[in-house]
Amino acid sequence: MMTRYSEKDIAIEAVKVVEEFGELDMTSLIKILTKRMKPDGYDIKIIKNRNDSYFSQKVRNLKSHHNKEFFSNVIHTNVNGVTKYRSKEFNSQIKTLSQKEVDKLLDEKKRRSKSFYARKIEFDKMNAEKKEIGNKGELFVYEDQKIKVRSYAPHLVHKVRHVAKKDGDGAGYDILSFDKFNSLKYIEVKTTKGKKETPFYMSVNEYDFYQLHKSNFIIARVYDFDTIMCTGKIEYIKGSEFDTHFDKEINSYRIKFK
């Protein structure tokens, strides 16, 4: 059977995992990725004279090959003689914290971290019009992202992914893309036929994903959207600027512009 996952596929998921947990050693990273990605066939075969499967070896190769997708978003550091992989956001966050505070933060991240690996859900009960607007809005942003990425990183255009369509809803974001520094961007699309300031909703799953990936998370606010012509306007709002742009009402996380 053919290998299911490429090193690049693994790198993208590995970045998300490290961001959610803050820092992980290689053994923990392999364990979590195996649980989430569920390798099978050739990937789970054990390499001759080794303790690794082909899948776990590809995870280890992220370091030995110094994978660009991985190390554009993650750093490796030595913690008490053990190599740990740490998200850049977490590394910056803990610079002024005591070890006790760092440990507490890691425990909180571990407790909150969920498996955001995309899953199919039942859409029958969803409002038909909202579904149409949402799907078309996502496609509108997806095409816009391909144009943007092609302008500054043409080698990554084929990696821009409409996650909500290809993998199913539930990942916590809709579009996987890249910025001009080759860093991953997780784009959640919120579309309306009305004006930009129309309040929108985020599910608990989406909001939790935003909280764990603030530095790489983006809201793509699509407004004045015409579902017939599939035209409209897009404003991209970084997760790090979320609080300066929006007020949050705790009602299934109803989000509105200030």
Tell me what pLDDT residue 249 has.
74
Helical H segments across the chain, by residue range: 7-21, 26-37, 54-64, 68-71, 88-93, 99-112, 128-152, 163-166, 204-212, 242-245
Domain segments of the chain as ranges: 7-112, 128-257
How confident is the model over 55-68, as pLDDT tens digits?
999 999 999 999 99
Q: What percent of the chain has pLDDT over 70?
A: 91
The CATH label, of 3.30.1360, 3.40.1350, 2.30.30, 1.10.357, for the domain at 128-257 is 3.40.1350
Q: Which of the pair, 123 or 228, is modelled with greater confidence?
A: 228
pLDDT of residue 155: 94
Return the CATH class of domain 7-112. mainly alpha
Report the predicted TM-score, pTM, of the whole model to 2 decimal places. 0.68
Place of tokens 């309040």: 199
Residue 141 clears pLDDT 90, i.e. is over it: yes
List C-alpha distances in Å: 192 to 202, 239, 254. 14, 20, 14
